A and B are shown apart, each in its own frame.
Chain A
Amino acid sequence: MMDYVDLVFLTMGLLALSSVLFTFLTVRTKDLMYAVIYSSVQSVAYALIYFLLLAPDIVLVYVAVAVGIYPLVIILLIKKVGRYEVRV
């Protein structure tokens, strides 16, 4: 029967695999608003891995910075600069 220690590491492995999928989607898409959303989901996966690695100070900093401040600043930039990526 599975111990809770095995469950911790299993969750860590699955979260890392899902973050690879979301990083690939971020780099691939042409609509910059979708890129910001995918990047935020990948940051949530990273924050859960930091919690499983027993680093609570880093979780507080990382959630405030990568899910709060980065998407805000980049959405402001998209509004002023242009939403779609045009290939020349």
Chain B
Amino acid sequence: MDIELIKFMFMLTVISLYFNVAISLYGVVAKANLVKKLIALTIFQDTVNMFTILVGYKLWRPGLILQPPVLTDLSPTSETIKEFVERSVDPLPQAFVLTAIVIGLAVTLFLTTIVLHVSYHFKTVNVDEISKSKRVYIHEEAV
């Protein structure tokens, strides 16, 4: 059990997630197609949820085996419960992320129906073309 290797790999995971946030944020802001923006937004939400669960992890020590927060003994003694508390991973961030995934899914479904309506009304899903046609429309109304 090589403590240096463990810490280096964990740091590598955190830095790769920073890169993911940056690339998906670039995809939301700078790409012109509405469907590409939607795909990049889902990647952004997933990466932020991953950060929350990384907070609840625990360091391995020689002689301590980690376990997920589920008790497998259906009639535990007080010794079993003390060992469970020593070994288990944090259950609170997992409860938060469950709620967050459901809310992200609901927002994505709503955005899909809005993109359908926009495409039927303007006959395109390119944001630059939509803003050009709106400028012509406003100019025609003013004249």
Contacts and interface: CB of A to CB of B under 8 A. Distances in A.
State whether these chains interact: yes
Given A35-B36, A55-B53, A66 B46 contact: yes
Contacts, number: 140
Contacts of B6: 5-6, 9
Given A10-B9, A13-B9, A73-B109, A53 B125 contact: no
Given A20-B23, A70-B42, A80-B119, A65 B9 contact: no
Interface in B66-123: 66-68, 70, 89, 94, 97-98, 101-102, 105, 108-109, 112, 115-116, 119
Contacts of B97: 55, 58
B44 to A, nearest CB: 10
Interface residues of A, number: 48
B60 A58 contact: no
A69 B57 CA distance: 28
Interface string B10-30: 101100110110011011000
A61 B13 contact: no
Interface residues of B, number: 54
Given A20-B23, A32-B33, A55 B89 contact: yes
Interface string A65-88: 110011001101110111001111
Contacts of A12: 9-10, 13
Given A54-B89, A57-B98, A85-B32, 4 more contacts: A9-B9, A55-B53, A56-B68, A56-B70
Interface of B: 1-2, 5-6, 8-10, 12-13, 16-17, 19-20, 23-24, 26-27, 31-33, 35-36, 38-40, 42-43, 46, 50, 53-54, 57, 60, 66-68, 70, 89, 94, 97-98, 101-102, 105, 108-109, 112, 115-116, 119, 125-126, 128-129
